[in-house]
Structure 1
Amino acid sequence: MITLSDVAKKANVSKMTVSRVINHPGQVTDELKQLVFAAMKDLDYRPNVAAKALANNRSQVIKFFILEDIDTTEPYYMNLLFGIAKGLDEKQYALQLVTSRNYDLGNSDGYIITGARAKDQEWLDRLEKPAVVFGENRYGYDFVDTDNKQGTTMATEYAIAKNYQSLVFIGIDVKEAFEYSREAGFINTMQQHQMIPKIYRMANHSHLSEQFINDNWQKFARNTAFICASDRLAIGIVRGLAHHDAAIPNDFGVFGFDGVFLDQVSNPKLATVKQPIQEIGRLCARMLLQKIAQSGSPQGELLVTPELVIRDSMRK
């Protein structure tokens, strides 16, 4: 039976180095990892993860809860899942996807949760194992999210710099922290430039924002930019403007928010605030594993800087 010592001898490193490569790869150089992995492959050595988990009273399973409807046409969750899986792989954890609130079925070491809303607070409070939320919240739950306020600040500053004279925010009609932050970024920036912020809210559906333009077309003069809280809303704005033969981006500009898929299928392609979804997923996994290692100690919040992607719906 091949042992840790055999791998260390084959790679010409210490047993401690082999152990670190297996258990804490982030603490080891790529060169050492390549040496150890090559030795493991040559010797057909496989770490006994199950035995280690049993000894530590761990299941090596993380449950990922999606508490909102999934639109299968959008690879948003595929990117998030890939990022989470990548983060969990670093510690040999398996991922279990759950799309209901049956939080205590089967064994696991902790939870990553997305799509949580204010109405889910009671359910979240009942969770008995370490949990991390993907999504800004103001209830004290550990979370990772895009810096939503910074994202709309960046988009608004860009639109002002490109000399759009009137700016309109198209928000999502939900009373949630991420939406408040996106609106705050827009409002604060407008006030700093002594401009009047105009805000409209609706459900996050493109047909509603398209209908909004059709119903209010006469209200919007040329040289207006729409800063939208999602790419879905932005696509509807683009369609509504196109229906009235508006010149985009010369007369009207449109900014989305997400940058996962819909921004690229829009015609013209959307300028957007791009969320680093895969990276956020990986950071959620890392935060949760650290929380588990620290016996559930609070981890706080982590806001990730988004990227401003300029495409054909905004002046360049």
Structure 2
Amino acid sequence: MSTVIDVAKEANVAPMTVSRVVNSPEKVKPETREKVFAAMKKLHYKPNTAAKNLVTKRTGVIDIYIPAAIDLSNPFTMHFIAGISKTLSERMYSFLILRDMKAQHPCDGYIATGLLRDETLEFAHYALNDEKPLVIFGHAQIDDVDCIDVDNVQGSYMAVKRLIEAGHKHIAMVNVAEDKDYPIDRLNGYKKALLEAGLPFREDLVKYSVNSPSGGEYAALELFSGDNSLSAVFCATDTIAIGLIRQLERMGKKVPLNISVVGFDGLGHHLLSTPRITTVQQPIYEIGRMLATALLERIEGRTQRIEKLVPPVLLEEESVAERK
């Protein structure tokens, strides 16, 4: 069985450096860290995490809170967990997916997503009262709570601007009917693009639905039963866009020939539609890694608060046509 000394010789570093890589990798230069990880992998060296946790009085477990209403099999959740898992596994941490906010068991910290607006402060109090750090996928002004989010305002602005640049002047929006920050942010981005282009914002052109294909189908019926001047729709999620396009086809309206559609998420759903949906991609896997890194830094003693917005990317597909 390989030892710390074996790894140190293989990586051409001091044994103390190997120990630092195992216990506090953020304190080691990236190039040195990679050399040590490569040596550990080559020699099949596995740190004694139980002994480490006994010394540091840590459990080696992170709780990931994902509300029961969010399907664990959807692309968002899978990308989110995969990113977190990648970073935690590199640091020899395990994780537990928490579906009940009030469930209690030993852990070293929390990562939370999908919180309703009134739940964010409640969860923060719960975590901080337990003297455990918390990082949130979202944004909130709470002391000692790190927040990392997609720039939803910029993303929806990009989506609507794409439609405007294609010549569309009558653009509706289908938003998510949830009391969370991201639907508000995506509505604000929609408004921002209209205002910049000198187009009026109309409340009657904003519909709210559940985040599902059936919600998109219902929104299509609401939007296109009366106002025939509409030529484009921005959907706050790709899931809604899939249902909207499906219903438009049933109503004899072709996408993008008659109606252009842009979605939001870019996690694979947009490729399952016919036509494939032009969308705004949020880098959920990368954000999962960032959240895990931020939490581990908190556990290691960082005190400075992090609040970060990650820029999304517009993915051009087949659901937008130029308006003549």
TM-score (structure 2 length as normaliser) = 0.87
Kindly state the Cα deviation for residue 95 of structure 1 after the two structures are TM-superposed: 1.0
- For residues 166-222 of structure 1, the C-alpha deviation after alignment (integer angstroms, 9 at most, x for no partner) is 111111123321111111111011111110123222232322331232244243435
* Displaced runs of 4 or more, over 6 A: none
* SS in structure 2 of the partner of residue 235 of structure 1: helix
Kindly state the Cα deviation for residue 139 of structure 1 after the two structures are TM-superposed: 5.4
CA 1:216–1:169: 2 relative to 1, 3 Å: closer
Contact 1:168 1:197 in 2 (8 A): no
Kindly state the Cα deviation for residue 132 of structure 1 after the two structures are TM-superposed: 1.0
What is aligned with 2:49? 49
CA 1:239–1:39: 2 relative to 1, 3 Å: closer
Contact 2:174 2:219 in 1 (8 A): no
* SS in structure 2 of the partner of residue 246 of structure 1: coil
Contact 2:172 2:230 in 1 (8 A): no
**CA distance in structure 2 between the aligned counterparts of 1:20 and 1:118, rounded to whole angstroms:** 39
Kindly state the Cα deviation for residue 144 of structure 1 after the two structures are TM-superposed: 1.5
* SS in structure 2 of the partner of residue 294 of structure 1: coil
What is aligned with 1:184? 188
What is aligned with 1:276? 283
- For residues 212-257 of structure 1, the C-alpha deviation after alignment (integer angstroms, 9 at most, x for no partner) is 3224424343561111111122112212211122132132111111
- For residues 69-106 of structure 1, the C-alpha deviation after alignment (integer angstroms, 9 at most, x for no partner) is 2335523211111100112123221111121123422x
1:292 to 287, 299, 309: 299
**CA distance in structure 2 between the aligned counterparts of 1:250 and 1:89, rounded to whole angstroms:** 48
What is aligned with 1:196? 200
CA 1:29–1:284: 2 relative to 1, 3 Å: closer
CA 1:102–1:175: 2 relative to 1, 3 Å: closer
Amino acid aligned to 2:300:
A
What is aligned with 1:246? 253
Moved more, 140-149 or 181-190: 140-149
CA 1:173–1:38: 2 relative to 1, 3 Å: closer
Contact 2:60 2:108 in 1 (8 A): yes
1:59 aligns with 2:59: yes
* SS in structure 1 of the partner of residue 156 of structure 2: helix
Contact 1:21 1:33 in 2 (8 A): no
1:302 aligns with 2:308: yes
Q: Number of aligned pairs?
A: 313
What runs of 5+ residues in structure 1 fail to find an aligned partner?
none
**CA distance in structure 2 between the aligned counterparts of 1:38 and 1:304, rounded to whole angstroms:** 30
TM-score (structure 1 length as normaliser) = 0.89
What runs of 5+ residues in structure 2 fail to find an aligned partner?
none
CA 1:13–1:294: 2 relative to 1, 3 Å: closer
- For residues 135-163 of structure 1, the C-alpha deviation after alignment (integer angstroms, 9 at most, x for no partner) is 23455642221110010011111111111
RMSD in angstroms over aligned alpha carbons? Answer: 2.5
